[in-house]
Amino acid sequence: MSSRRKRRAIIIGGSMSGLFSAAFLRQIGWDADVYERSAVELVGRGAGITTHPELLDALESCGAGITDLGIEVPKRFAIDRNGRITGEKPLRQILTSWDRLQRLLRETIDEAHYHLGWAFERVEQNGSGVRVHFNKGRVEEADLLIGGDGIRSSVRGQVAPELQPQYAGYYIWRGAPEEADLAPKTLKEIFPYFVFYLPPRQEIITYPIAGFNNDLRPGHRRYNFIWYRVADENQLREMNVDRNGVQHDYSVPPPLIRPELIEGMYSDARDIMPEVMLDCVMTMKQPFITPIYDFTADRIVFGRVAMVGDAAANARPHMGFGVAKAGGDAKALARCLDAHDDVDEGLKAYNAERQPIGNIIVKHSRKLGTHMGVNLRTEEDRRMHELLQTDEAMMDWIAVPNFLDAYDIPGRVPGRV
């Protein structure tokens, strides 16, 4: 391959899939520059991330490694309204945080190739390359444009505007209380574990993650808290009005969430939560709302534009697999480009390999979402909804490793991206 002209990729988005793409492309000898619209380093609001063998494989193989990745829990269990354990399942799993992953991946890229404050505006293609326009009138050229700019991708907005994420009919209250703020009972009974509490049509999931600056010391960690709740489109629109009366399209930035929404959430929590979970709710410093959307795509390559991660296809977060998928897309893209002298042939191979996998992942997430009892359209949806009404079933299906083994995916090696 050494006789090849050195090729260049422009990558939009400086988060998980953008950084994975740069790391894997560099390994095959490409120049890769990442352009992130945020003018400041990205931070993840303490969001927890479930890991999977595929994510560990992607981190190791791209050179980021898994040093101090997170906290290992020995098991998962479910509790009832009184805090009594209703079922348990031994399952060793490493729980990490978005911030830790960002830091590990960020270290794989040279400062000179990571550009903050560059917002993608549009791309022109001429069949053998791309000319990319950014804010402030800046223009860059390359052999390939990679859209790693997330679920609301503006790259996808240009090449496939018809692909719009669909609201799932439910949203999440999220937060990460500090270990030091939690009551001794909470620390003893649930903090070291992956815990489920499943009132009707709701889902509460908690697990420990590192503290600020990846602090893994006891006493300095945080507890990831996720509470799924149903809301129709109208209710969501109403929740998306901020404290200044401004209507937002998708979600309200955490500091602008209306105080009465937070008060209402506290009040509902008092009505239904076991004491240890209520403790988590009441100690979260800045609870925030994430509405759940998803979409599938018929293709993920558009000429010399390739989509990766959430921008390519976005699953609901029930499997906690989004970052693993981002790593898998990036690795496959580099492998396919390396295997073909012709860039377009490489992209064709990438599309053939990853487009179906992206859709399988999204469809699997919809199955798990039937637990919430929203938009049950088919007999299969209703059957799945029934199946997921027990604590045992939820522990068997939600955020478990190796769920892709149930699908016949040509060429896939279990545990590898």
Report the interface residues with ligand FAD, using CB under 6 A: 12-18, 35-38, 42, 49-50, 119-120, 148-150, 154, 172, 174, 290, 309-311, 317, 320-324, 326
Of residues 167 and 344, the one with the C-beta less far from ligand FAD: 167
Strand partners, 306: 146, 301
- Distance (Å, whole) CA 204 – CA 211: 21
DSSP-derived secondary structure for 329-366: HHHHHHHHHHH-SSHHHHHHHHHHHHHHHHHHHHHHHH
> What is the Cβ-side half-sphere exposure of residue 88, based on CA atoms within 13 angstroms?
14
Each as own residue / partner, the long-range contacts of residues 190-193 (CB below 8 Å, 24 or more positions apart, any chain) are 190/79, 190/276, 190/277, 191/223, 192/73, 192/74, 193/73, 193/74, 193/75, 193/76, 193/77
397 Cβ contact partners less than 8 Å away, ≥ 6 residues apart:
318, 368, 388, 403
Q: How far is the CB of 328 from ligand FAD (least distance, A)?
A: 11
Residue among 313, 306, 343 at smallest CA distance from 155: 306
Q: How far is the CB of 378 from ligand FAD (least distance, A)?
A: 25
**Nearest residue (beta carbon) to ligand FAD:** 322
Q: How far is the CB of 194 from ligand FAD (least distance, A)?
A: 11
Of residues 28 and 362, the one with the C-beta less far from ligand FAD: 362
Q: How far is the CB of 321 from ligand FAD (least distance, A)?
A: 5
Residues 339 and 319 sit within 8 Å (Cβ to Cβ) = no
Cα dist from 173 to 30, 68, 118, 226, 363, whole Å: 41, 27, 31, 6, 23
Of residues 127 and 137, the one with the C-beta less far from ligand FAD: 137
- Distance (Å, whole) CA 100 – CA 46: 10
Q: How far is the CB of 225 from ligand FAD (least distance, A)?
A: 11
Of residues 42 and 85, the one with the C-beta less far from ligand FAD: 42
Of residues 318 and 385, the one with the C-beta less far from ligand FAD: 318
Amino acid at 92: R
Of residues 77 and 134, the one with the C-beta less far from ligand FAD: 134
Q: How far is the CB of 290 from ligand FAD (least distance, A)?
A: 5
Of residues 174 and 221, the one with the C-beta less far from ligand FAD: 174
Q: How far is the CB of 414 from ligand FAD (least distance, A)?
A: 18
- Distance (Å, whole) CA 372 – CA 313: 22
Q: How far is the CB of 288 from ligand FAD (least distance, A)?
A: 10
- Distance (Å, whole) CA 107 – CA 113: 12
Of residues 133 and 340, the one with the C-beta less far from ligand FAD: 133
Is 102 in a helix, a strand, or coil? helix
